[in-house]
Amino acid sequence: MIGTGAFGRNHARVYRELHDEGVELAALVDRDRSRAETVLRELQATGGAVPQIFSSVEEMIAAKLGIKAASIAVPTSEHLAVARPAMHAGVDVLVEKPIAPTLAEADELLSLAHQLGRVAQSGHLERFNPAVRAALPLVNKPMFFEIHRLSLFSPRALDVDVVLDLMIHDLDIVLELAKSEVREIRAVGIAILSDKIDIANVRMEFESGCVANFTASRVSTERVRKMRLFQPHQYISLDYSKQDVFTLTVEPAANFASAPIPNFPPVAMPPGLRIVPSRPAIRSEEPLHAELRAFLDAVRTRSAPLVPLEDGRRALNVALEILSQIEEHHRRANLGPAAARS
């Protein structure tokens, strides 16, 4: 586990929980040794082999522990510098989102992975949310998305703005579902409690005609993780936190009335049609467990990861264009340069 901050601590916990599936957590790497020691004490309380602590990737490599795979959860600006020696040493990597601060560094990561034959997965956790997995087969021609991702303020991840910190999760999901090139982006964002963009709103239009509205905030009074999408004859509501999916579908029905819809007033339908509410069956699972299992399966089988670095680059590319549009909005509104805060 390279990086033992908020994300790294959770990765280490899950790797330890996967011990019965043949996984050994052999090393914790962090330049802040006291932080790594805190995580080590937490892990020791669960029993099992004791991982070694190292201050750098180079130090870990020199120890020749036979490391096969690693999660990288250091600050975004350090992803390439950490992943490069790890991949050269034969280590497959899962790189937390965003995979890099720039497209040039993302491209170098991709090039290294291809040249060295390494399994390299992008850490877009929400792809493994059971609600997202349940909704994927239902989406066929999305025309409108409305997404809200709101969080309480935390000093975590303030090396990047809210677009790269929070919104990028939903950018990845919508890009995967829309399956269309982005035509236009309009965006506004401002700093509130930090020196970076803390709240942003984005309107995105795709070549298919689909439109997506995103709102991301890390200065909210509540925690919200919701997506709503509309496609011909169907509405789909997804709650990431509750791992819940609810659909309303208009279907032909010659002699059947619509089923009652909870919290909805009765709806008069044209003859021959009815509204069918539904909740797809969802097998609850911690997304991080599913993500790390998928990564390790790709490592074992030498297969392509479910979320390759290419997908991480795609989301990063759109996120950086959003930041460019926020900068342009700041210029038009005489708010001063947004780039310094992003």
The CATH number covering residue 75 comes to 3.40.50.720
Please indicate, yes or no, if residue 339 is contained in any of the structural domains.
no
Tell me what pLDDT residue 341 has. 40
Q: Mark whether 160 and 258 lie in a shared domain.
A: yes
Q: Is the pTM of this model over 0.85?
A: yes
Tally the domains of the chain: 2
pLDDT band at 119 (very low <50, low <70, confident <90, very high): very high
- Would the pLDDT of 340 be above 50? no
Side-chain half-sphere exposure of 296, counting CA atoms within 13 A:
18
| CA–CA gap between residue 176 and residue 326 (Å, rounded) | 23
pLDDT band at 48 (very low <50, low <70, confident <90, very high): confident
Tell me what pLDDT residue 262 has. 67
Question: Judging by DSSP bridges, how do beta strands 224-231 and 144-150 pair with one another?
Answer: antiparallel
Residue 225: alpha-carbon gap to chain centroid = 12
Please indicate, yes or no, if residue 313 is contained in any of the structural domains.
no
Altogether, the residues listed in the chain come to a count of 342
CB atoms within 10 A of CB 25: 20
pLDDT band at 243 (very low <50, low <70, confident <90, very high): very high
In terms of phi and psi (left: phi > 0; alpha: psi -120 to 50; beta: otherwise), the region of 59 is alpha
Please indicate, yes or no, if residue 29 is contained in any of the structural domains.
yes
Q: Mark whether 168 and 103 lie in a shared domain.
A: no
pLDDT band at 124 (very low <50, low <70, confident <90, very high): very high
Structural domain boundaries, residue 134: 127-284+320-324
Give the residue, 313 or 195, on which the prediction is more confident: 313
pLDDT tens, residue by residue, 212-228: 999 999 998 899 999 99
Please indicate, yes or no, if residue 149 is contained in any of the structural domains.
yes
Please indicate, yes or no, if residue 315 is contained in any of the structural domains.
no
| CA–CA gap between residue 47 and residue 70 (Å, rounded) | 21
| CA–CA gap between residue 82 and residue 63 (Å, rounded) | 16
Over residues 107-112, the mean pLDDT reads 98
Please indicate, yes or no, if residue 314 is contained in any of the structural domains.
no
The share of the chain scoring above pLDDT 70, in percent, equals 93
The distance in angstroms from the start CA to the end CA of the chain is: 28
- Would the pLDDT of 254 be above 70? no
